[in-house]
């Protein structure tokens, strides 16, 4: 063996060598422990999923936004209290779309799509046209929504395969444009009400939701032999003075008045000003009276008002999912009057959780979207099954029912459909 070119180092005493060995092992162990702790912390942090919410938290529709926020918060609390889903817990990331302007919605969508911790976005409605559907689809982000289904259908049905992560828990709005007329005809046939000349006056707001429903009602009235005594359109946004329009209504003296401006404060002020000198007309208002704020603003003046709703709570004590949500809502918020927008975001959040429980991977948006699209579940808003051509929920008494209401004795009474109703139409007090 060739001699080493390096001088030989004398061996260390055993005690010193032992101490060095222990120190080295300790250092390695500490580094390993720190690394493990860091990885564990990262893993725990990664297990918290953010659920995005687009909602009008300020502005004229803030009461709707509050309901959306409360519904999502209640669902998240229940999921977390039960230990989470597939190893994940949840927190809400709310974005205010304010007055639903395109700029506000676009900024909100950007904030949520840029956030990798946001795995799903829920809403009752965000914009009036649902243009954001394309942005979420392009970002491959799950988007579960409720409002403006005509706009959703128009976007999705051109190429449903382009939108595998976008699903609406609300059905097509076609029934909104027919059911009030059908009910009026039914009440007349049963002698509950006698129209004088089968005339209707339509008030609409300048936005796609209001316009499409008003157009449907005009068409349905005419198909049933009614005369449209007048039509008026108001700008989208706050309307405080209805004097000019109500003067035209009084001049026309119709049998049926329809107001499709869905904003709560607008419809409440319309009703208050109409009752200063009412005509002998039925009054139907689109959506607004569903909100608790409408009754708070009108009280006894609400009696007799007709309205309807899709995808809200099915208020039947015999329907367990709705009865349970009613109890949970009261425990959380002190009222069993469940906000209809809250029902939407509650159902959407629970629907996402059911998909995650099955799929397991929160980053597999395609698999989660496919699971949701094929699901068949009983939710507080009815039996939820999706139309594959439009990505809308199916509508009907055996699916998501259109519910028609009337305020009677300062209470919200369900008067249709027959399967769920707990009361019958009455003549409004101003017509007696």
Query: Interior CA angle at 359 toward 358 and 362, to 5°?
Result: 125
The predicted pLDDT at position 355 comes to 98
Tell me, what's the pLDDT at 315?
81
Give the closest residue to 116 by CA, choosing from 89, 139, 143, 88.
139
- How far is 228 from 162, CA to CA, in rounded Å? 41
Q: What pLDDT, on a 0 to 100 scale, did the predictor assign at position 303?
A: 97
Token digits of residue 181? 């007329």
Instruction: Give the C-alpha separation, 43 to 41, whole Å.
Output: 5
Nearest to 322 by CA among 384, 387, 385, 409: 384
Nearest alpha carbon to residue 429 among 401, 412, 407, 402: 407
Q: Using CA atoms in the order 161, 163, 167, 173, what is the torsion angle rounded to 10 degrees?
A: -80
- CA 385 to chain CA centroid, nearest Å: 16
What's the whole-model pTM score?
0.82
User: Phi and psi at residue 180, in whole multiples of 5°?
Assistant: -60, -40
| pLDDT at residue 304, as a whole number | 98
CB contact set of 362 (below 8 Å; sequence gap of 6+): 49, 86, 88, 119, 356, 368
Ranges in the chain, pLDDT < 70: 1-46
């Amino acid at each position: 063996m060739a001699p080493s070119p390096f001088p030989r180092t004398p061996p260390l005493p055993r005690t010193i060598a032992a101490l060095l060995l222990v120190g080295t092992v300790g250092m390695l162990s500490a580094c390993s422990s720190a690394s493990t702790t860091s990885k564990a912390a990262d893993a725990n942090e990664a297990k918290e999923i953010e659920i995005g919410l687009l909602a009008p938290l300020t502005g004229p529709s803030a009461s709707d936004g509050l309901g959306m926020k409360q519904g999502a918060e209640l669902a998240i609390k229940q999921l977390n209290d039960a230990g989470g889903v597939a190893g994940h817990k949840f927190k809400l990331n709310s974005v205010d779309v304010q007055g639903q302007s395109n700029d506000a919605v676009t900024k909100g969508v950007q904030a949520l799509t840029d956030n990798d911790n946001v795995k799903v976005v829920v809403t009752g409605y965000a914009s009036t046209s649902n243009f954001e559907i394309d942005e979420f689809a392009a970002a491959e982000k799950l988007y579960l929504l409720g409002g403006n289904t005509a706009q959703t259908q128009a976007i999705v049905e051109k190429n449903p395969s382009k939108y595998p992560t976008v699903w609406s828990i609300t059905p097509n709005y076609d029934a909104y444009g027919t059911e009030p007329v059908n009910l009026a005809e039914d009440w007349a046939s049963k002698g509950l009400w006698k129209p004088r000349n089968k005339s209707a006056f339509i008030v609409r707001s300048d936005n796609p939701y209001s316009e499409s429903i008003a157009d449907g009602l005009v068409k349905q009235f005419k198909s049933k032999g009614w005369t449209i005594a007048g039509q008026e359109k108001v700008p989208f946004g706050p309307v405080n003075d209805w004097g000019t329009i109500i003067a035209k209504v009084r001049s026309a003296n119709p049998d049926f008045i329809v107001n499709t401006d869905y904003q709560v404060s607008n419809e409440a002020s319309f009703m208050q000003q109409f009752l200063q000198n009412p005509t002998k007309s039925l009054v139907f208002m689109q959506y607004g009276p569903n909100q608790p704020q409408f009754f708070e603003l009108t009280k006894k003046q609400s009696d007799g008002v007709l309205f309807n709703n899709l995808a809200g709570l099915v208020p039947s004590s015999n329907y367990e999912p709705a009865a349970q949500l009613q109890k949970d809502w009261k425990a959380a918020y002190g009222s069993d009057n469940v906000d209809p927008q809250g029902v939407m975001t509650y159902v959407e959040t629970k629907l996402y959780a059911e998909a995650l429980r099955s799929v397991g991977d929160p980053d597999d948006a395609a698999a989660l979207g496919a699971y949701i699209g094929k699901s068949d579940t009983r939710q507080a808003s009815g039996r939820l099954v999706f139309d594959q051509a439009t990505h809308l929920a199916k509508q009907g008494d055996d699916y998501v029912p259109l519910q028609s209401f009337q305020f009677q004795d300062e209470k919200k009474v369900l008067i249709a459909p027959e399967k769920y109703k707990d009361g019958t139409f009455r003549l409004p007090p101003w017509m007696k």
